A and B are shown apart, each in its own frame.
Chain A
Amino acid sequence: MFRYLLRRAALTLPTFVALMFITFVAIRLVPGDPVEVRTGERGISPERLAQFRHELGLDQPVWKQFLDYVWGILHGDFGTSLVTNAKVLNEFATLFPATIELSLSAMLFAVLIGVPAGTIAAVKRGSPFDHTVMGASVIGFSMPIFWWGLLLIMLVSERWGLTPVSGRLDLIKYYFEPTTGFLLIDSWMSDQKGAFLSALHHLVLPTIVLGTIPLAVIARITRSSMLEVLNEDYVRTARAKGLSPLRVIGLHALRNALIPVITSIGLQIGTLLAGAVLTETIFSWPGVGKWLIEGIGRRDYPALQGGIMLISSIVIFVNLGVDVLYGAINPRLRHGR
C-alpha cells in the first residue's frame, strides 16, 4: 500500500511541471499587465511605467521570470502579491478555510441527499419518484451556477427574506478572532450567542448553489450502481437470511453500490473548487475563489500563479486520498492478490 502511494505520488510530478508552465503562460497571454491595470485610463509617464515594471521584475526576459518563479516554488516561496504586498502563501492560508468550509458543506449536502435519493429511485425503479429524481438531476446538472445562484438570491433572500444575501457572518452583531478559519467551528467555540446560527444561516444558499451539480451526479451514479448491485447474488443471499429490506438495501447493497460513488466524489473535487470560484463571487464569500477572480482583474501574477498551483495540488492530493478511502470500503483492494 505504501509503495503504491509512493508510485502514485511520483506520477503526479509531470502534472505539476505542466501546471506551472500553463498557469505562467496563460496569465501573461491576457492583455494588460499589473502596472497598466493599476494606472487606469488616465495614463502614466513612460519613465514611471518603466520604474514600476522594473520594481515588479516585469522588465526581465520572460524565460528568466519563469525560472525565478519555478526556483521560488521549489523553495516553498509562492511569491508576494502585487496588490496587497503580502505573501501569497499566507493570503491563501487565511482564505482557504472559507473555501473548504463551503466545499465540504456542499459535498455533504450532495451526498446526504443524493445517495438516499438515488437509492430509493433504484429500489422503486420506474415509479413517479424515480422519474422525478432523474428529471431533476438532468436539470440540476445542466444548471449554470451563476444563474442558479442569482435566482435563489432573488427568490429566497430578496422576496422571501429567508436567508442573508452574502457574506459568511453577520459582522455587525458578531466579531471574534479567527482561530481555525472555519467559521462554524470558531463561532461554536466563541462565547457569542447566535454567532453559530448566523454562520450556518449564511452557509445555506451557497451550499445549495455549489452542491447542486455534485448532487445531480451523485444521485445518478448511486441509482445506476444500485440497480446493478440489486441483481447480485449476495443481495439474494441477504434476503434469504430473512433480513429486513432496510438492512438488505441500506447495508448489503449500498455498501457495494457506494464504491463507484466514492470514485465520482473524488473526481468532482476539481469541479467543486471551480464551482466555488463562481459561487464565492456571487455570494461575496471571502474564499480563494473570490480572491482569484479579483486577482485576474488586477493581473496579480504571483497571486494567480501561486493560488492556482496550491489549489491544483490540493485536487491532486485529494484524489490520492480517495484512492486510499477506496481501499477502506472495498476489501478486495485492501488485501492485494
Chain B
Amino acid sequence: MNLLEIENLSVDFETRSGLFRAVDRVSLTVAPREIVSIVGESGSGKSVAMLAVMGLLPKTARVTADRLTFGGENLLGISPAARRKLVGKDIAMIFQEPMSSLNPCFTVGFQIGESLETHLGLGRAARHTRSIELLEQVGIPEPEARLRAFPHQLSGGMSQRVMIAMAIACSPKLLIADEPSTALDVTIQAQILDLLVRLRDEKDMGLVLITHDMGVVAETAERVVVQYAGQQVELAETVALFDDPHHPYTAALLSALPERATEKRLPSIPGMVPGQWDRPAGCLFAPRCTFAAEICHTRAPAPCGADLGRALCHFPLVGGRPRLDLATAGAAR
C-alpha cells in the first residue's frame, strides 16, 4: 500500500482580490522507502502542496482534493488534534532555512527532547540518551556538548543536521524535505543529501525531496514530479525523465543543466513564470514554450497517459520532438 496518496490536490489562498490558486490539481503517491522528488521554480507551488499535507498552511488557505491519505488515514477532514498525533511522529518535515527554523531561545537538547516527550512520552533520562543517539546518527561530533548549545552557536550545516535529528526523532514513516540543502554551501549540500538517503535506508522511511535543482533529483530520487506555476506538468521515473522528457518545460529545464549543455552558452528559458495577474488562457507554459502552437494559447491541455509521464501538454515530446499524432483529443480536432 502507498504511504502517501494525493489525487488532484488544489490549494487556494484568499487574497484581497479573490482566490489565488497556488497548487492546481497535483497528484502524487509515495510508497514506503521510496524517494520522490518535486522539482520546480520558486512559486511553482511545490512547498505549498507539502505544507498542505502537513496541515501547516495559514488559515487563508483552502485545501481541496479528491483524495489525500497517509497510511490509509484521510487527511482532508482530520481534526487538528488527530493531525497533531500524526505530524511530527509519522510524517516529519524539514525546511529550507535551518538557521531560522530552530528556536533561538531553546537549547538543541530541549528542542529534540520536546518531540520525544510529546509523541513517545519519554522521561528525562531516556530523552537524553535518545537525543545523543540521534545526534550521532546525523553525524554531529560531540553530541553531549551539542545538546547544551543554542542555535546561534551552530553553523548552517549543523543546524540542518539538528533539524534532521529532530525530524527523525520518532522514526517517521515519511520525511518531507523542503529544499534541505538550498541555503547551504555546496560541499555541505552533498553531505546533507547523502545523510538523508542513508537515513532512508537505515530507517525504512519514504522521502519527499522538494528541490529546484535537477542535479539533486538525478542523484537521489527514484521518481520525479515536475511542477510549473502550481500545476503538475510531468511525473515519471527519474531515469526515464532524464532520458526522454515529455513536457517541453521539463525538456527545457534539463537542457539548462551545465552537464548537458552542447553549446558554449548555457540555454535558458525565456520569460517568467506567470503570476496571479497574467495567467495565460490556455497552457500556462505556452508563452515560454518553443513548440507552442495556436491551440496552446487558447485551450488548457489535459494530462496525457502514464506512458507519456502524464505530461500536461497538447503536443507531448518524444525524443525531443513534439508528436502531433499523440496530441490530446482537443488538439487533434
Residues of B with C-beta under 8 A to A233? 95, 97, 100-101
Residue of B nearest to A232 (CB): B100
Does residue B56 face the partner (Cβ distance < 8 Å to A)? yes
Select which of A243, A245, A256, A332 is within 8 A of B150 by beta carbon.
A332
State whether B100 touches A242 (Cβ < 8 A): no
Measured in the bound complex, the distance between the Cα atoms of B92 and A239 in whole Å is 11
Measured in the bound complex, the distance between the Cα atoms of B166 and A238 in whole Å is 11
Residues of A with C-beta under 8 A to B100? 232-234
Does residue A330 face the partner (Cβ distance < 8 Å to B)? yes
Residues of B with C-beta under 8 A to A241? 87-88, 114-115, 118, 166
* Residues 211 to 269 of chain A near chain B (Cβ within 8 Å): 232-234, 236-245, 252, 255-256
Does residue A329 face the partner (Cβ distance < 8 Å to B)? yes
Residues of A with C-beta under 8 A to B93? 240
Does residue B67 face the partner (Cβ distance < 8 Å to A)? no
Residues of B with C-beta under 8 A to A243? 84, 88, 114, 118
Contact with A along B95-134 (1 / 0, CB 8 A): 1010011111110000000110011000000000000000
Does residue B168 face the partner (Cβ distance < 8 Å to A)? no
Does residue B54 face the partner (Cβ distance < 8 Å to A)? yes
With known contacts A332-B152, A335-B153, A240–B92 Cβ distance under 8 A: yes
State whether A237 touches B163 (Cβ < 8 A): yes
Select which of A237, A329, A335 is within 8 A of B103 by beta carbon.
A237
User: B201 CB to closest chain A CB, in angstroms?
Assistant: 23
Does residue A331 face the partner (Cβ distance < 8 Å to B)? yes
Measured in the bound complex, the distance between the Cα atoms of B104 and A241 in whole Å is 16
Residue of B nearest to A331 (CB): B150
Query: Which among A238, A240, A332 has the greatest number of chain B C-beta atoms within 10 A?
Result: A240
State whether B153 touches A329 (Cβ < 8 A): no
Contact with B along A295-337 (1 / 0, CB 8 A): 0000000000000000000000000000000000111100100
* Residues 253 to 278 of chain B near chain A (Cβ within 8 Å): none
Does residue B86 face the partner (Cβ distance < 8 Å to A)? yes
State whether A240 touches B88 (Cβ < 8 A): yes
Measured in the bound complex, the distance between the Cα atoms of B166 and A252 in whole Å is 15
Does residue B247 face the partner (Cβ distance < 8 Å to A)? no
Residue of A nearest to B163 (CB): A237
Measured in the bound complex, the distance between the Cα atoms of B152 and A245 in whole Å is 25
With known contacts A241-B118, A242-B89, A236–B101 Cβ distance under 8 A: yes
Residues of B with C-beta under 8 A to A242? 83-89, 115, 118-119
Residue of A nearest to B119 (CB): A242
Residues of A with C-beta under 8 A to B92? 240
State whether B88 touches A329 (Cβ < 8 A): no
Residue of A nearest to B93 (CB): A240
Measured in the bound complex, the distance between the Cα atoms of B119 and A118 in whole Å is 30
Residues of A with C-beta under 8 A to B163? 237
Contact with A along B52-87 (1 / 0, CB 8 A): 001010000000000000000000000010011111
Measured in the bound complex, the distance between the Cα atoms of B99 and A232 in whole Å is 11
Measured in the bound complex, the distance between the Cα atoms of B101 and A236 in whole Å is 8
Residues of A with C-beta under 8 A to B119? 242
State whether A252 touches B54 (Cβ < 8 A): no
User: B173 CB to closest chain A CB, in angstroms?
Assistant: 14
Select which of B97, B104, B152 is within 8 A of A256 by beta carbon.
B104
Residue of B nearest to A330 (CB): B105
State whether A240 touches B54 (Cβ < 8 A): yes
Residues of A with C-beta under 8 A to B118? 241-243
User: A99 CB to closest chain B CB, in angstroms?
Assistant: 33
State whether B103 touches A238 (Cβ < 8 A): yes
State whether A236 touches B150 (Cβ < 8 A): no
User: B98 CB to closest chain A CB, in angstroms?
Assistant: 9
With known contacts A242-B86, A243-B84, A255-B105, A237–B95 Cβ distance under 8 A: yes
Residue of A nearest to B104 (CB): A332
Measured in the bound complex, the distance between the Cα atoms of B150 and A329 in whole Å is 12
State whether A252 touches B104 (Cβ < 8 A): no
Measured in the bound complex, the distance between the Cα atoms of B151 and A335 in whole Å is 12
State whether B101 touches A234 (Cβ < 8 A): yes
Instruction: Name 15 extra pairs, CB < 8 A, besides A237-B101, A237-B103, A252-B103.
Output: A233-B97, A233-B100, A234-B100, A234-B104, A237-B95, A240-B54, A241-B114, A242-B88, A242-B119, A244-B84, A252-B105, A255-B106, A330-B105, A332-B150, A335-B153
By Cβ-Cβ distance, the 10 closest A-B pairs, closest first, are A242-B88, A241-B88, A234-B103, A233-B100, A242-B84, A242-B87, A331-B150, A233-B101, A255-B105, A237-B101
Which A residues fall within an 8 A CB radius of B? 232-234, 236-245, 252, 255-256, 329-332, 335
Give 19 A-B contacts (CB < 8 Å), ordered by A residue: A233-B100, A234-B101, A234-B102, A237-B95, A237-B103, A237-B166, A239-B56, A240-B54, A240-B88, A240-B92, A242-B88, A242-B115, A242-B119, A252-B105, A255-B105, A256-B104, A256-B105, A332-B152, A335-B152
